[in-house]
Chains A and B, each alone.
Chain A
Amino acid sequence: MRPRIQLLSAELIGRILREAFELLMNPGVRVGSAVIELLRSAGVEVNDGVARIPEPLVQQCLASAPRNFYLYNRQGEKAVHYGDDDVHFDPGSCCVQMLDPDTLEARPSETRDLVRIVQVTETLPQFAAQSTAVVCNDAPSAIGDLYRLLVVLQHSDKPVVTGSFSAAGLEGMIDLLAADSGSPEKLRQQPRAVFDVCPSPPLNWSEFGSHNLLDLARAGVPAEIVSMPLAGGTAPVTLAGSVTQHAAETLAGITLHQLAGPGSPVVWGGAPAIFDMHTGGAPMGAVETAMLNLACAEVGKHLGLPTHGYLVATDSKFVDAQAGAESARSAMLGALAGINMISGAGMLESLACFSVEKLAIDAEWVASAYRLVRGIEVRSDEVRGETLATAMFAQTGLSGEFLQLKETRALFRQEQYLPSPVIDRSARGSEPPSDVFRRARTRVDELVSKCQKLSLPEDVLRKFQAIVDREADRARVAAALPRN
């Protein structure tokens, strides 16, 4: 039996969706000019930039959205399954600051930081996908989004969760992925990346967001709709009310997306949070924020769609007890909810700062979460027959010598998650004990040193350079491929 968590009753999901459909008609949804014609041709009334989207049209678009899809790695193998209750984790994105492990201060993130994050992510099996985790402040900001993706593609074979900073930026990024895959058609058939696209709460698909949805749908590159209501700030204060707003924004996004490219892969994603009534911030580590993520995903699952959420992040500025508690807790909850892609590992300070040491620690919570959802397994293999304990006792009697049993050796790796040295379980010895942050630093160094440098084919690198040159020209900046 797989353990699960459920926050919404079927009846409540029904109410949430009914009200979400009501919101799509009244007050309606603000949309960018890029999609107005598309909506009008589907019979939607658009006045003063506000669309009133009727339920039958939304239902039609929900019907054309795929139930599941795969992301592929560079080798063309299926690496992430968006669908069912399959759970994957990727690092959070996109920070502009990096926690300096020496000074414990946040400083602007640079290319070398992103490379390090990518290398650690690449070597840790807990992360099924990469993310364009930090902005490289040493690269021209006009092509910052393209540049991040480039750095990731140069150092990773894994799928990528990414996103663009502008409508123009998306085109270059899709070209980059097509060059990486071999062709736009190959990218469509075996997408390696999914793009986060965000509405602006409340109920606003801005020019930028609308445009991205259209371009992604037409290119057949998966779109992850990341609605982010802030309960009490930019959305109703009640969790149920915010889940309803999230549903309305996401339904509107899916409608725009499927109208532009019926059957194109799309994810019911989100980064909902409560609004902190003292700081005015979005506390990503709050339990209510986790509850919102779970509830929003439940609505998506009810509709049969692939899901995404934003968890495993903390509001703490350091990799401390608060960071550990908040990140571990939400990793477990997200896995129990069966969310297909859970973004956020490595992030501090309410998503403002990244720590690669935290990423290595979070990998332990992720592994624990995976272990948890495997549940208590009853093995019926030949070794023990059908019994839980009696067959083993038949061998040991009252001697207590379980450690010698062949069953123990055969099964302990399946029964127990064997943590990395980041987790301390050792007895106190003569050496002074070290804390988790110090152990994570050592672990990161080891992982990075183990990471093998990728060598991309020359023709792919040439195509990358041509795309970077073109986009840099367009943005009137100078840019070269980042050096490995």
Chain B
Amino acid sequence: MSDQLFGAMLQSIIDGAPDKAAELAQQALANGVDPLEAVNRGFAVGIKFAGDQFGCGEMFLPDLLASAAAMKAAINILEPEMLKRGSQREALGKVVLGTARGDIHDIGKNLVATILSASGFQIFDLGTSVTPEQFVAKAKEVDADIVGVSALLTTTMAGQKAVIEALDRNGLRPRVKAIIGGAAVTSKWAAEIGADGYSRNAIDALELAKNLMGKGTALT
């Protein structure tokens, strides 16, 4: 019975069906299934599968966003019960995200936020055109593990460097890891400005963030 339910949960995420995912989450609660187990053996398996499928070109960004929305719908149902049981899914880490000062392009940053959030990270999204000071203040406020700065324009990439410098100045690094992304960003640039990591897309960003949390080593 449970295996069947977990299978359906997984499928609802792959299908990107928030209504179905929410319904299955309700069903799990009604049947007394441990909500944490529902996540770990059902929904989270689906999001992992979706990420892998994206990686090999079988699924695409709209599919991935739908999967993330389904994941969110399921978590919204399960979370109160998890809290009640004190079995809350442990956040993989706290991530502060934003686009560099002067850059209003946020498609990439939003994708990273969605994928990381769906995968269990706690996201603090500062939005677009964020100053180094705002990044630092938020990182301090929430005791962030990772700060991610996105820049599409070559003219705003300098803003990524400014954030890293500000994190250094405030003594937040190396405890807080700084990661960067954006169309024009390269691993070379990441190395040049001393970032702890860079990824080409949202799925790679997930791997990067997990690695940084797990090992705390630089991956550039």
Contacts and interface: CB of A to CB of B under 8 A. Distances in A.
A455 to B, nearest CB: 34
Contacts of A232: 62
Contact of A278 (B60, B154, B155): B60
Contacts of B54: 278
A141 B184 contact: no
Nearest to B184: A352
A96 B184 contact: yes
Contact of B183 (A135, A200, A206, A281): A281
A204 B56 CA distance: 35
A234 interface: yes
Interface in B147-191: 154-155, 183-184
Interface in A396-451: none
B107 A277 contact: no
B85 to A, nearest CB: 38
A200 B61 contact: no
B201 A279 contact: yes
Given A280-B108, A352-B183, A135 B154 contact: yes
B17 interface: no
A165 interface: yes
B8 interface: no
Interface in A278-302: 278-281
A279 B155 CA distance: 21
A123 B62 CA distance: 46
Contact of A280 (B104, B111, B154, B155): B111
- Chain B interface helix/strand/loop/mixed: loop
Given A96-B154, A280-B201, 11 more contacts: A165-B155, A200-B104, A232-B62, A233-B107, A277-B61, A277-B62, A279-B200, A280-B183, A280-B202, A352-B183, A352-B184
B57 interface: yes
Contacts of A96: 154, 184
B107 A234 contact: yes
Nearest to B108: A280
Contact of B107 (A135, A206, A280, A352): A280
Interface of A: 96, 135, 141, 165, 200, 206, 232-234, 277-281, 350, 352
19 contacts: A96-B154, A96-B184, A141-B155, A165-B155, A206-B104, A232-B62, A233-B107, A234-B107, A277-B61, A278-B54, A278-B57, A278-B61, A279-B200, A280-B61, A280-B107, A280-B111, A280-B201, A280-B202, A352-B183
Contact of A277 (B60, B155, B200, B202): B60
B100 to A, nearest CB: 15
Contacts of B155: 141, 165
B198 to A, nearest CB: 15
A200 B129 CA distance: 15
Interface in B12-43: none
A202 to B, nearest CB: 12
B184 to A, nearest CB: 6
Contacts of A280: 61, 107-108, 111, 183, 201-202
Interface in B181-215: 183-184, 200-202
B59 to A, nearest CB: 9
B150 to A, nearest CB: 11
A278 B200 CA distance: 11
Contacts of A206: 104
A281 B154 CA distance: 15
A281 B57 CA distance: 15
Interface in B91-146: 104, 107-108, 111
A206 B129 CA distance: 14
A279 B202 CA distance: 9
Interface string B50-68: 0000100100111000000
Contacts of B57: 278
A281 B185 CA distance: 13
A135 B157 CA distance: 14
B203 to A, nearest CB: 10
A164 to B, nearest CB: 12
Nearest to B154: A96
A234 B107 CA distance: 8
Nearest to A230: B107
Contacts of A352: 183-184
Closest 9 pairs (CB-CB, A-B):
A277-B60, A96-B154, A277-B61, A278-B60, A233-B107, A280-B108, A352-B184, A281-B183, A280-B61
Contacts of A278: 54, 57, 60-61
A472 B184 CA distance: 27
A68 to B, nearest CB: 34
Contacts of B154: 96, 135
A206 B201 CA distance: 27
B13 to A, nearest CB: 19
Contacts of B201: 279-280
Nearest to B183: A281
A351 to B, nearest CB: 10
A277 B66 CA distance: 13
Contacts of A277: 60-62
Contacts of A350: 183
A146 B183 CA distance: 25
A350 B107 CA distance: 17
B9 to A, nearest CB: 25
A134 to B, nearest CB: 11
A431 to B, nearest CB: 38
Nearest to A234: B107
Contacts of B184: 96, 352
Chain B CB within 10 A, most for which of A141, A200, A278: A278
B62 to A, nearest CB: 6
Contacts of A141: 155
Contacts of B183: 280-281, 350, 352
Contacts of B61: 277-278, 280
A412 B184 CA distance: 47
Chain A CB within 10 A, most for which of B61, B107, B184, B200: B61
Nearest to A94: B154
A234 B108 CA distance: 12
A473 to B, nearest CB: 21
A482 to B, nearest CB: 20
Nearest to A281: B183
A206 to B, nearest CB: 8
